[in-house]
Amino acid sequence: MPDLDFQQVQQALADHLRDPERFPPPADIEPRRLAIYRRLFYNNVLNLLSAGFPVLKSVVGPEQWGPLVRDFYRDHDSHTPYFPQFGEEFVRYLAEERRPREGDRPFMAELAHFERVERTLLNAPNARPSARTKRASDPLSGVPLLAPEARLLAYEFPVHRIGENFKPDQPGEDPTYLLAYRAGPKRVRFAELNALGARLLWRVQEERCTGDEQIRRTLDDFGLDQEETLYRQGERLLRRFRKLGVLVVSAPDAVTVAH
């Protein structure tokens, strides 16, 4: 059938463009045109990933970056046909599919995820709160909720410090906890958290109850007494991020409160 023949030719061409060393080109296509197609498709992917992951590109180095992108282009079956979403596909490839090769850095997958979060938050539309949600001003008596423009992150490597002068070979002694949040239409900021602060915000993200209860439950998680000093640390954290817009506070009767 003609349609089937066209599909076969199309698949053969796609296989050849992605992996010319393994798959021969379809018959009757001019070699000069094939070379143009190969450069065009690969360079599009290279340019997109270079723009989306500038830190990873710099620490990997030019000799490794091109082959890394080509490996992704050749080996990964993307779930999307849209070039702007290739960043997510690249993160998935590094985290789930790529086997370590000579020259790979052990932090590549985490660093790529970290850079992608920044781009995702920059491009995310402004989330509008529901008009039906009752608001509260006090994050202790109200129910704090993580804003849609914020992400709670945890990594083995201190990805926010990786650069030309810092390329760790081993994970940190303790996990790195970060809070990413949008601080304007064209700016994303990252706040480093200690384990207590990260646990408190994790609870805010996963459970819905008053800020007062969240602080007390967090202290219980660590087996800590309900000391005033520790409680005040949690209170300052909630108030600080409420002021920055990282937290949205709802009235207790506006959400289902966890028990």
CATH of residue 177: 3.90.930.50
* Dist CA 158 CA 242 (whole Å): 25
Question: Which residues neighbour 147 within 8 Å (Cβ) at sequence distance 6 or greater?
Answer: 127, 181, 245, 246, 247, 248
Q: Is residue 218 part of a domain?
A: yes
Q: Is residue 169 part of a domain?
A: yes
Q: Domain end: 52, 76, 104, which one?
A: 104
What does the pLDDT look like over 121-179, one tens digit per residue?
Answer: 988 766 554 444 456 678 999 999 999 889 999 999 999 999 999 999 999 999 999 99
What does the pLDDT look like over 91-116, one tens digit per residue?
Answer: 999 999 999 998 899 999 999 999 99
Domain tally, the chain? 2
What CATH number corresponds to the domain at position 72? 1.10.150
Tokens of 22: 């393994």
pLDDT: is 33 or 150 the higher one?
Answer: 150
Q: Would you tell me how many other CB atoms lie within 10 Å of the CB of residue 86?
A: 21
- Based on the fold, state whether residues 100 and 150 are members of the same structural domain: no
How far is Cα of residue 193 from the mean position of the Cα atoms in its chain? 17
β-pair type (143-146, 247-250): antiparallel
- Based on the fold, state whether residues 10 and 79 are members of the same structural domain: yes
Cβ(40)–Cβ(83) below 8 Å? no
Q: Domain end: 75, 104, 133, which one?
A: 104
Give pTM, 2 decimals. 0.84
The boundaries of the domain holding residue 183 are: 143-254
Per-residue confidence band for 27, with pLDDT thresholds at 50, 70 and 90: confident
Q: Is residue 59 part of a domain?
A: yes
